[in-house]
Every structure is written in structure tokens, then in C-alpha cells.
Structure 1
Amino acid sequence: MEYFMEAMRRYADFNGRSRRKAYWMFILFNIIFSFVTGVFDELTDTIIISTVYSLAVLIPQLSAGARRLHDTNRSGWWQLLWLVPIVGWIVLIIFLAQDSQEGENDHGANPKEVALESATV
């Protein structure tokens, strides 16, 4: 839940890098909450709750994806591959699942290395 809340706090921050675990935990909780809102909408015979939730997490999801792509030294604009059915989705999932680029890149310091340094101090 910590990763989900962190992504929501940084909802408009498209700069920097985000670890693979942080991104995929955000996606996991997003799927769970989407399922729950969908079930609630089915029970109440509306689509209001799931629609409001989907709109509320749209920008945080884009910013988390951009930070994750930055961690692999790619531009956040690669997320436009979501618009290309099947092939684009597969390529983007591979990009999002790749390990962090070692060391510092154009988007900042490696969050894994920063976490390791702060843990040893």
C-alpha cells in the first residue's frame, strides 16, 4: 500500500526514476481497487464509482509509468505504445519489466543504489 500512496503523492511528478517493485506494486493495488469499484458498481447497477476512480488514477498511472521508463533510460513518451494493440503492449510490458539501468542516467540517480547507500549508513 506504501507504493500506491507514494505514486498518488507524486501524481504530477513526471521527473526522476522509479524502481520496478514500486511501479508493479502500484499497478497491483490499482487492479485490486479497480476490481472492487467494479464489483460495487455492479451491485448498485451504476458505473459512477469505477469511472471516478479510473479518472482519479489516470495521471498518477501515467507519471508512475514515465518514472519507471526513466529508470530504464527511456522517455516517458514510450507509453504511447499502449495505443498500439498487442505488439505495442508486449513491447511496453517488456520495457516496464526490465531491471534498472546501472548508475546515474539522464533522469537521475539509480533508486536501487540510493536505497542501498542509505541502508548502509
Structure 2
Amino acid sequence: MTTPPPSSELPEVTVEPIPQPAPEPTPKAKEAAAKPEPRPLLARLFGISIWGALKLIGLCILVGFFVLASQFDPTNPDVNAGEAIMNVARTAVSALGWALQNFWKPALAGATIVLPLWVLWRLISLPFRK
């Protein structure tokens, strides 16, 4: 019978751990990682693309044509919306010629109406934008 060698004579055996795959993230963790951080309030409120800014300027000019062509004066006690519309229809051609020479005036006149409405719309729709 042979006796085992003393413990000091045994070779040292090192066992490296088997690499374990990383655990799969939970669906909630995946969803949280996929969501970008929300944009700041001012960026969500006034963030507008170049194309959006051009459309807003065009709308200001268009509304300004109608305001200035109708010679609308809201302080006049005899304000008549039907007559104002007819006045716009009669003077539309002359207003177009005038606007080609002085386009900045209708842009400013339209902006006084369009921009407050646009800001109001952006405030109302703010909770629904990401």
C-alpha cells in the first residue's frame, strides 16, 4: 500500500472561474435606457426648425396682408366684419403690389396677431410634446 505524499508535495491547482454571461436587463430597464432625457422647458416651448420658422414668417405676412388691406381699426365703434371682408376682396390685388415693395410692414402687422396665438398654442400643447 502506498501512502499519499504529504500536502507540501502536492502541486498547486488554480481554478479560474467560468465567465458568466451578463444578466438580461429587465423590460423596464430597457425602456428606461431607450428613452432620451426630456428637453428643457424653453426648448420644448420655443424649439422650432428652420422650415417651421419660415412657415411662421409666411403666415405673419399673409395675415398682415389682410389686416393692412382691410384698413381694419378695432377701436372704431362701427366695426363690421362683413364689410371688412369685402374690402379685403376689393383691395387684394393692390395690396399684393404694395406688399412687394414694402413686405416688412405686413410681416410686422401679421406678427402682432400670429405670434401671440402661436405662443398660446405652444403653451397649450406643451404637455403633449416630448
TM-score, normalising length from structure 1? 0.29
Structure with a larger share of its residues in helix: 1
Q: Which has the higher contact order (CA 8 A, sep 6+)?
A: 2
